[in-house]
Structure 1
Amino acid sequence: MKAELIKKEGNKVTFNLTVDNDKFESAVTKAYNKNKGKFNIQGFRKGKAPRKIIEAQYGKEVFYNDAIDIVLPEVYPQAIDQLNIDPIDRPSLDVQEISKDNGLVMVVEVEVKPEFELGAYKGIEISKVDNTVSEEEVELRLQEMVNKNARLVSVEDKAIESGDTAVIDFEGFDNGVAFEGGKGENHNLVIGSNSFIPGFEDQLVGKKVGEEVEVNVTFPEQYHAENLAGKPVVFNVKINDVKVKELPALDDEFAKDTTEFDTLAELRADVRVKAEEETKNRAEAEMRNSIVEKVAENTEVEVPNAMVEHQIDNMIMELNYQLQYQGLNLQQLLEMTGRSIEELRNERRADAERLVKSSLVLEAIAKAEGIDATEEELTAELEKMASMYNMEVEKLKASLRDADLEDIKGQLKIRKTIDFLVENANIA
């Protein structure tokens, strides 16, 4: 194998890649053995035709593409090591020659990580984030606990107000015809939750149990069901019940009944400790993000489009995972919001570019400062992950590919690099 650089323009590298004839011939033989069963040649049983007979009938290049696919995973990594380049995308190949004298000769073009000069990254000035927890914050968290333990109680002869839960039967009509999905019985609707079509809940305010209400609303223009989007419809609604929240008293009994504590004072102290820990972690995360952003701002980088697109792919994949937890999928989100997948990707492009640039700058700082993750640190991280997943460390290791381990080491290296930036920052 021989690799020779032709040119480097911006983030694109072009080079010649030559594979000697013996190695390529070996790959062609492997391609023949892999594919010979696909050929029906008169006079031979299927899969038994000699290579020369198949080549004579279909052309000597019949196995070349598969042979290139066989040899490339071996010679391409050697070539990029030899040329000391760091590809970020799949290469494009242009076969120049295949001959007995010169073997396989290709021109390879690939996008690589950009080269750039680091800006200032030590002594970054940042403000310390306030992480104090007020009494109001503690009280708010306690009230959230009270609300979570509230129970709904039916109230007779009560006019519906915002915050109440109305138990309703409803059926929707478009020009007098009932439409699909527009009917429900004994549905619990929290007034003010805005979970129904805009204007629906407002028209139930002031009504009482037993009343029947004609609710007139218009579906949003971007509604996911095209046959109803933008249409005025009528819902016939019957009020079956009205329920209000009954809140428990915030006292020692509440602490005993809902937590492991015996007194409200103990519960309050625990809530404060947890709030302080959360606030401290959040403040630290904000500070670290602020340092990374300022360091990235100090460096000019031509961010490769391939890396941005890959980052957007990851963001869309993460969004889809989040939607699945809510019982939705990406296509449903697009239909509900009236957006295309390209519009969704473009909305995330600026954030993706910022994340890629920060990643490139942090990698460059790690290289400049000789920061890396040790095997001991990797082992400690795997032990932490194993504990989180309730697995044995060895079983976790066995489930991970080499690429997964390298990714974990990469994350550790970036974390250590940010630690380095924090240690060398001026925090006022």
Structure 2
Amino acid sequence: MQVSVESTSALERRMTIGVPAERIETEVTKRLQQTARRAKIAGFRPGKVPMSVIRQRYEDAARQEALGDLIQSTFYEAVVEQKLNPAGSPAVEPKVFEKGKDLEYIATFEVFPEFEVAGLEGISIERLQADVGDADVDNMLEILRKQNTRFEATEGRAAADGDQVNIDFVGKIDGEAFAGGSAKGSLLVIGSKRMIPGFEEGLVGAKAGEERVLNLAFPEDYQNLELAGKTAEFTVTVNSVAEPKLPELNEEFFGLFGIKEDGLDGFRVEVRKNMERELRQGIKAKVKNQVMDGLLAANPIDVPKSLIANEVNRLRTQAVQQFGGNIKPDQLPADLFEEQAKRRVVLGLIIAELVKQHELKPDEARVRELIEEMASAYQEPQQVVSWYYKNEQQMNEVRSVVLEEQVVDTVLQKAKVTDKAVSYEEAVKPAETPQAA
């Protein structure tokens, strides 16, 4: 077998492969012999059909099959011989594909970039430091109460900000009702910003049984492009008005969260535990984001287009699964996901190289610790731990998370790390980062 390789770009390789005709004929004959053992042809007993008849009937199909298999096997042999690491499948272009002649074809493909991760010492990380204080717990209790607000009907009172109204409404554009612009018995909390600007504000002061006409404009960036920027008239009938009532901090309220013992003190203990877990996760996530950004900035590398295309397709599929809709993944524009896909691919290659350079393996003690921390959020933690250890796929996912944490720790050992004391709220506030890993 003859092999020659040409570099057509930083990552693209054009490999010409020649396969001797004798090897092709050997493979064709092997397939014809297999066919002869099972062929059923009128006038001949099974296994007794002359090879000349077998060749006449099946040689073309056997040759096509042999050539396809030989291209696959010889391509693999060639990349091993040339010590290449292909990223994705090759595009194959036959040069000589004739019976009795050597097979010659060209395989064009991309290879994984070869690099060493560098610049760890130049990465700057700001690590937040915070505690969960009593005031933070008090604030969280109020948030939980508001999340479980109940609404009680009022008698004759006008609707105010924060009230829940039961409404019927019909929306029209140029005198014609439009799809999605009408509803009956719809519940709406005034001030929730669920409706377009001016709708909820227009119901302040309305009483049960009152009808109001609201002339409003849809925002220019409204999600439904057919309605964006258009003016509509909404006729709204208020059926009822209900005012918000915050639940008391009592046994009934605690029971909503599965806590039935130790009263308010016990509930505060559980709330604090959850807040501390959220705090740890929030600080860890912010540090990780900074590490990943630092690695990207310090290690600009070329990446195979095929890997980015595969990642784009994965993101398309995830988007369809998450948001639904009667569309196929390939109907979503690829450029919507291009930047995110490239970031994921580059980070994946950098992380894999760091794991290789530092010979990292998942720390099983940390794996156990992470599983127990996740399980602590459930009522029966030990059952959750047991479930993880019986599910190999879930265990591998946790090990991947732990390995990534170990990569972060490796970077932190060499990076410039400064600690900054902040409030609990600032520490858990989601970081503004690009959609990424």
Q: 1:331 deviation in Å?
A: 4.7
Q: 1:98 deviation in Å?
A: 2.9
The corresponding residue for 2:56 is 52
SS in structure 2 of the partner of residue 128 of structure 1: strand
Distance in 2 (alpha carbons) for counterparts of 1:34 and 1:229: 67
**Native 8 Å contact 1:5 1:16 kept in 2:** yes
Distance in 2 (alpha carbons) for counterparts of 1:247 and 1:127: 39
The corresponding residue for 1:279 is 279
Q: 1:64 deviation in Å?
A: 6.2
The corresponding residue for 2:212 is 213
The corresponding residue for 1:420 is 410
Distance in 1 (alpha carbons) for counterparts of 2:178 and 2:123: 62
**For 1:101-120, what aligned pairs fall within 5 Å after superposition?**
103-120=102-119
Q: Which amino acid aligns with 2:417?
A: I
**Native 8 Å contact 1:293 1:358 kept in 2:** no
CA gap of 1:388–1:102, structure 2 versus 1, over 3 A, is farther
Of all paired residues, the percent bearing the same amino acid is: 25
The corresponding residue for 1:39 is none
Please state if 1:86 is matched with 2:75: no
**Native 8 Å contact 1:116 1:300 kept in 2:** no
**Native 8 Å contact 1:288 1:422 kept in 2:** no
Q: Which amino acid aligns with 2:104?
A: V
**For 1:30-69, what aligned pairs fall within 5 Å after superposition?**
52=56, 67-69=66-68
CA gap of 1:240–1:393, structure 2 versus 1, over 3 A, is same
The corresponding residue for 2:4 is 4
Q: 2:360 aligns with which of 353, 371, 383?
A: 371
Q: How many residues align?
A: 397
**Native 8 Å contact 1:98 1:104 kept in 2:** yes
The corresponding residue for 1:329 is 325
Range with greater deviation from structure 2 (292-301 or 64-73):
64-73
CA gap of 1:349–1:157, structure 2 versus 1, over 3 A, is same
Distance in 2 (alpha carbons) for counterparts of 1:165 and 1:152: 7
Distance in 1 (alpha carbons) for counterparts of 2:198 and 2:83: 64
**Native 8 Å contact 1:301 1:357 kept in 2:** yes
**Native 8 Å contact 1:215 1:234 kept in 2:** yes
Say what the alpha-carbon RMSD is for the aligned residues.
4.4
> 1:27-63 CA distances to partner (integer Å, 9 max, x unpaired)?
667999999xxxxxxxxxxxx99653688xxxx6x77
**Native 8 Å contact 2:313 2:329 kept in 1:** no
The corresponding residue for 2:350 is 361
Distance in 2 (alpha carbons) for counterparts of 1:126 and 1:231: 47
Q: 1:209 deviation in Å?
A: 0.5
> 1:373-417 CA distances to partner (integer Å, 9 max, x unpaired)?
69x89x989x999x76976967x55x89xxx97x99877655543
**Native 8 Å contact 1:131 1:280 kept in 2:** no
**For 1:28-427, what aligned pairs fall within 5 Å after superposition?**
52=56, 67-99=66-98, 103-121=102-120, 124-220=123-219, 228-250=227-249, 254-255=253-254, 259-323=259-323, 328-329=324-325, 331=327, 341-342=332-333, 345-372=334-361, 396=391, 414-427=404-417
Question: What stretches of structure 2 of length at least 5 have no aligned partner?
Answer: 36-48, 375-382, 419-437
CA gap of 1:413–1:189, structure 2 versus 1, over 3 A, is closer
Distance in 1 (alpha carbons) for counterparts of 2:33 and 2:198: 70
Q: Which amino acid aligns with 2:175?
A: G
CA gap of 1:25–1:101, structure 2 versus 1, over 3 A, is closer
Distance in 2 (alpha carbons) for counterparts of 1:98 and 1:332: 38
Range with greater deviation from structure 2 (229-238 or 242-251):
229-238
Q: Which amino acid aligns with 1:17?
A: I
Range with greater deviation from structure 2 (67-76 or 351-360):
67-76
Distance in 2 (alpha carbons) for counterparts of 1:221 and 1:350: 26
CA gap of 1:34–1:260, structure 2 versus 1, over 3 A, is farther
Distance in 2 (alpha carbons) for counterparts of 1:33 and 1:238: 84
SS in structure 2 of the partner of residue 91 of structure 1: strand
**Native 8 Å contact 1:129 1:284 kept in 2:** no
Distance in 1 (alpha carbons) for counterparts of 2:358 and 2:335: 35
Higher relative contact order structure (alpha carbons within 8 Å, sequence separation ≥ 6) = 2
SS in structure 2 of the partner of residue 16 of structure 1: strand
Distance in 1 (alpha carbons) for counterparts of 2:133 and 2:67: 67
SS in structure 2 of the partner of residue 89 of structure 1: strand
Q: 1:247 deviation in Å?
A: 0.8
CA gap of 1:227–1:380, structure 2 versus 1, over 3 A, is closer
Q: Which amino acid aligns with 1:70?
A: D
**Native 8 Å contact 2:168 2:183 kept in 1:** yes
Q: Which amino acid aligns with 2:231?
A: P
